[in-house]
């Protein structure tokens, strides 16, 4: 029997190792690659083309949303399962739109992860019960209203979202240009577009926004300095 090949992406080594032990205890699952940030996750997905990628949301350099967007574009056969401490409705909706097959809240993931991977490999969706209930409630509300579910929030392009994360992580324009292999002038353009779309015009505000959306973790950020 061919095992389900899995990519694990989480910047917390202890969490990643624990998940690996949990998964490899299942006879039908094999962890073929690991990643400690979102950019590495995309690279590993392209290289190994796993059946399922288990992706943490809050990772350095490239967060789970953008990693999902890029993996589903570059390796469409790989199913993406999201692991997160956050269950913000808007974020869940965005990840579904970007191609995520499932979304698990970390607090309950150990019980559901093996089952979720098996379902994802079959092409089925899987969500933590709390998220499933909210999605169902949203669908019912939309049905009662007689219209589609309204998408809330401001939509950034993939590149704008990458720039936002790197700004929030404290990187200067020159560092961002080197990381993304683009010019400083292009970084400045994306930076201004992000600020205009979000109507936030200082780095501290962008950082707070990124933390509130689960794009980065507050515990890993230096204290915000007044602008």
Domains of the chain: 4-142 (3.40.50.2300), 158-220 (1.10.10.10)
- The separation between the first and the last C-alpha atoms of the chain, rounded to the nearest angstrom, is 59
Identify the weakest region by mean pLDDT among 6-20, 29-43, 116-130.
Answer: 116-130
Please compute the mean of the pLDDT values over residues 189-217 and round it to a whole number. 87
Residues 6+ apart with CB under 8 A from 113: 19, 22, 23, 54, 81, 83, 104
Residue 162 has pLDDT above 50, yes or no: yes
Task: Determine how many CB atoms are found less than 10 A away from the CB of residue 120.
Answer: 24
The CA distance from 207 to 128, in Å, is 28
Question: Could you report the per-residue pLDDT of 73-97, keeping only the tens digit for each?
Answer: 999 999 999 888 766 666 677 778 7
Residue 100, SS3 per DSSP: coil
For residues 152-170, one letter each, b for 16 or more C-beta atoms within 10 angstroms of the residue's C-beta and e for the rest, the string is eeeebeebbbbbbbbbbbe
Which helix (H) or strand (E) segment is 92 a member of? helix 89-97
The CA distance from 15 to 56, in Å, is 10
At residue 146 the predicted structure's pLDDT band, cuts being 50, 70 and 90, is: low
Give the C-alpha distances (Å, rounded to integers) separating 76 from 4, 23, 43.
Answer: 16, 23, 14
Please compute the mean of the pLDDT values over residues 3-15 and round it to a whole number. 93
The CA distance from 72 to 218, in Å, is 28
Please compute the mean of the pLDDT values over residues 204-216 and round it to a whole number. 84
What is the overall mean pLDDT for the chain? 84
pLDDT value of position 57: 86
pLDDT value of position 142: 59
- Read off the pTM: 0.74
Top pLDDT among 183 and 137 is at 183
Residue 23 has pLDDT above 50, yes or no: yes
Task: Determine how many CB atoms are found less than 10 A away from the CB of residue 141.
Answer: 11
The CA distance from 99 to 121, in Å, is 14
Q: Among all chains, which residue has been given the structure tokens 């936002």?
A: 164
Question: Could you report the per-residue pLDDT of 104-131, keeping only the tens digit for each?
Answer: 887 776 668 999 999 999 989 888 766 7
pLDDT value of position 227: 37
pLDDT value of position 189: 93
Q: What are phi and psi of 119, to 5 degrees?
A: -70, -40
How many Cα atoms occupy the beta-carbon half-sphere of 154 within 13 Å? 15
């Amino acid at each position: 029997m061919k095992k389900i090949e899995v990519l694990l992406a989480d910047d917390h080594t202890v969490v990643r190792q624990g998940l690996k032990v949990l998964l490899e205890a299942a006879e039908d699952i094999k962890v073929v690659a690991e990643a400690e940030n979102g950019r590495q996750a995309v690279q590993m997905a392209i290289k190994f083309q796993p059946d399922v990628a288990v992706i943490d949301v809050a990772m350095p350099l490239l967060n789970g949303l953008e990693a999902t967007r890029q993996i589903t574009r570059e390796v469409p056969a790989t199913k993406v399962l999201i692991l997160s401490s956050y269950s913000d409705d808007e974020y869940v909706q965005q990840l579904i739109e970007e191609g995520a097959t499932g979304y698990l809240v970390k607090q309950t993931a150990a019980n559901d992860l093996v089952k979720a991977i098996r379902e994802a490999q079959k092409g089925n969706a899987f969500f933590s019960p709390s998220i499933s209930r909210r999605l169902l409630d949203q669908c019912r509300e939309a049905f009662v209203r007689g219209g589609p579910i309204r998408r809330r929030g401001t939509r950034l392009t993939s590149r704008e979202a990458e720039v936002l994360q790197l700004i929030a992580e404290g990187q200067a324009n020159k560092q961002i240009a080197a990381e993304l292999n683009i010019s400083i002038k292009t970084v400045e353009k994306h930076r201004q577009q992000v600020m205009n779309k979000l109507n936030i015009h200082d780095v501290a505000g962008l950082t707070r926004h990124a933390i509130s959306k689960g794009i980065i973790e507050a515990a890993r950020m230096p204290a915000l300095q007044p602008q």
